[in-house]
């Protein structure tokens, strides 16, 4: 292969060499880091037989082999993330889900690096003592590292090629107040002042909005930590003009370890456009009812396909579940007393989806992050099952009220709310829908699993 070889060949060689060097093809190698990576690549291919041609690509000296291998590449020269543990990739850093094996390492990065004195412990932060490992496990429980309860908190590893740069953590996703608190710390000073932590915060915010339906994000650094303040502002966070203690009280925030905590907020606008229609996709509109906004427990789940097929189930509640007064007065009277175990409902729902989809991709559409939480509570796991994706649509609460009344649907019944959402979205994306025929199709019927 000559120097006139195609870019595909260069990329293929880079990917193969990276794999041989133990370097994951999931993120970008930033400026200043190409030399050590290049040395690793060179060592990996040192024993290969010629002929081969050396190029200078995004990884430093890359090796092109006499073979064609498909390897995704983007316009910035970054190898696209193909690792299923990676959830977002930027120009400088990738976010990868942590595992239980990362717990001790993340503790060491937080408490034993040359950056530790910049955020905890004497002389600058005597009020925030350096925690022991057991105290760290209380602050960041096991589900932060195994993904079993993603709405209650999750830890991510910051990576750049073979390098692990630090940790990013999101705490409880508070859907009622539409906010989630973030933390980020780097493994060492050699990774600071390069914009990596700021990019990680931007990536995490966008990812959380797209996958969990939350729009407001919070950082609470000390005012003495000038670099943390600068990092947050670079990532689009701004300080509130209101009294921090009053804001913290209204948002139900836990006490800050700092005596001079600064509340930095970032608010992402909600998408205003409806999803585009793809004939190859099955659209399924979902809705859920639960015990309360503060501490939700799933009560019922409804779904309606774009073609009219529906699913409805009620879930057996655990003993001692407390319902809000609104749920007691409005939701419980609409339940049909057909509750089943959660695992059985999950099996039925997935089976129904597969039957409706006939091997097509499935887009699960809802108007609230609570429905994304309900999906996780019903099906388990951090992501929807393979071949499915969730999307939130911008439908006003008042519009669903209006449609429920117009179509004679039971407002705050999971299936009927899914039907109202279906109508709202389909009229937007398909303006020629015949209102009379659609109204007849949506007339209330016994809410059971049916075609």
**Are residue 247 and residue 291 in the same domain, yes or no?**
no
Burial (Cβ within 10 Å: 0-12, 13-18, ≥19) of residue 168: buried
> What is the domain extent for residue 193?
86-267
Tally of domains in the chain: 3
> Percentage helix, strand, coil, to 5, in the chain?
35, 20, 45
**Are residue 393 and residue 304 in the same domain, yes or no?**
yes
Q: Is the dihedral of CA 187, 193, 197, 203 positive or negative?
A: negative
Structure tokens that stand for 139 in this block? 């602050």
What pLDDT sits at residue 40? 36
Asked, for residue 1, whether it belongs to a domain, the answer is: no
Q: What dihedral do alpha carbons 395, 400, 401, 407 form, nearest 10°?
A: 150
Asked, for residue 291, whether it belongs to a domain, the answer is: yes
**Are residue 91 and residue 234 in the same domain, yes or no?**
yes
**Are residue 60 and residue 180 in the same domain, yes or no?**
no
Asked, for residue 251, whether it belongs to a domain, the answer is: yes
Going across the sheet that includes 154-160, the strands are 86-89, 94-97, 154-160, 163-170, 180-186, 216-219, 264-267, 238-239
Phi, psi of 54 (to 5 degrees): -90, 140
Distance CA 134, CA 437 (A): 62
Rg value, the chain, Cα? 25
**Are residue 331 and residue 359 in the same domain, yes or no?**
yes
Contact 102, 157 (CB under 8 A): yes
The 10 Å CB-count burial string (b at 16+, else e) for 108-134 is ebbbebebbebbbbeeebeebeebeee
What pLDDT sits at residue 197? 97
**Are residue 229 and residue 367 in the same domain, yes or no?**
no
**Which residues make Cβ contacts (< 8 Å) with residue 319, sequence separation at least 6?**
none
Contact 158, 93 (CB under 8 A): yes
DSSP assignment string, 399-430: HHHHHHHHTT--TT-HHHHHHHHHHHHHHHH-
pTM: 0.77
What pLDDT sits at residue 320? 84
Last residue of a domain, which of 267, 298, 324?
Answer: 267
How many alpha carbons lie under 13 Å from residue 281 in its C-beta half-sphere?
16
Contact 203, 28 (CB under 8 A): no
Last residue of a domain, which of 267, 300, 321?
Answer: 267
Contact 54, 63 (CB under 8 A): yes
What pLDDT sits at residue 429? 82
Q: Which residues of the chain have pLDDT under 70?
A: 1-84, 431-451
Three-class SS of residue 30? coil
pLDDT digits (tens, 9 = 90+) for 301-355: 999 999 899 999 999 988 888 999 999 999 999 999 999 999 999 999 999 999 9
Pairing verdict, β 216-219 and 282-290: unpaired
**Are residue 246 and residue 287 in the same domain, yes or no?**
no
What pLDDT sits at residue 322? 92
């Amino acid at each position: 292969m000559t120097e006139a070889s195609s870019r595909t060949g260069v990329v293929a060689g880079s990917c193969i060499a990276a794999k041989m060097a133990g370097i994951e093809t999931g993120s970008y190698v930033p400026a200043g880091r190409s030399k050590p990576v290049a040395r690793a690549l060179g060592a990996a291919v040192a024993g290969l037989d010629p002929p081969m041609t050396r190029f200078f690509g995004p990884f430093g000296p890359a090796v092109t082999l006499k073979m064609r291998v498909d390897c995704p590449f983007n316009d910035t020269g970054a190898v696209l993330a193909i690792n299923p543990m990676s959830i977002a990739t930027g120009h400088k850093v990738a976010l990868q889900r942590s595992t239980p094996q990362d717990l001790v390492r993340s503790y060491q990065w937080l408490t034993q690096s040359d950056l530790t004195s910049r955020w905890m412990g004497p002389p600058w932060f005597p009020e925030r003592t350096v925690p022991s490992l057991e105290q760290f496990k209380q602050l960041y429980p096991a589900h932060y590292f195994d993904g079993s309860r993603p709405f209650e908190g999750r830890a991510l590893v910051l990576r750049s090629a073979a390098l692990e740069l630090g940790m990013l953590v999101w705490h409880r996703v508070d859907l009622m107040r539409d906010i989630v608190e973030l933390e980020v710390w780097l493994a060492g000073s050699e990774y600071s002042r390069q914009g990596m932590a700021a990019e990680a915060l931007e990536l995490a915010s966008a990812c959380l909005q797209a996958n969990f339906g939350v729009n407001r994000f919070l950082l609470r650094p000390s005012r003495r930590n000038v670099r943390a303040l600068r990092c947050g502002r670079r990532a689009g966070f701004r300080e509130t003009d209101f009294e921090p203690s009053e804001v913290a009280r209204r948002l139900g925030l836990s006490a800050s370890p700092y005596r001079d905590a600064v509340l930095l907020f970032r608010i992402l606008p909600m998408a205003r456009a409806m999803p585009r229609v793809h004939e190859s996709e099955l659209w399924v509109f979902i809705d859920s009812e639960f015990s309360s906004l503060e501490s939700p427990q799933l009560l019922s789940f409804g779904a309606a396909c774009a073609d009219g097929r529906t699913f409805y189930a009620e879930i057996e509640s655990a003993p001692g579940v407390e319902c809000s007064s609104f749920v007691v007065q409005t939701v419980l009277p609409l339940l049909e007393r057909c509750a089943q175990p959660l695992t059985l409902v999950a099996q039925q729902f997935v089976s129904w989806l597969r039957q409706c989809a006939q091997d097509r991709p499935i887009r699960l559409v809802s108007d609230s992050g609570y429905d994304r939480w309900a999906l996780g509570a019903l099906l388990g796991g951090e992501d929807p099952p393979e071949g499915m994706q969730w999307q939130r649509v911008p439908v006003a609460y008042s519009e669903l009220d209006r449609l429920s009344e117009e179509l004679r649907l039971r407002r705050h019944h999971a299936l009927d709310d899914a039907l109202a959402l279906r109508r709202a979205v389909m009229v937007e994306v398909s303006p020629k829908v015949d209102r009379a025929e659609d109204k007849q199709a949506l007339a209330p019927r016994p809410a059971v699993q049916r075609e």
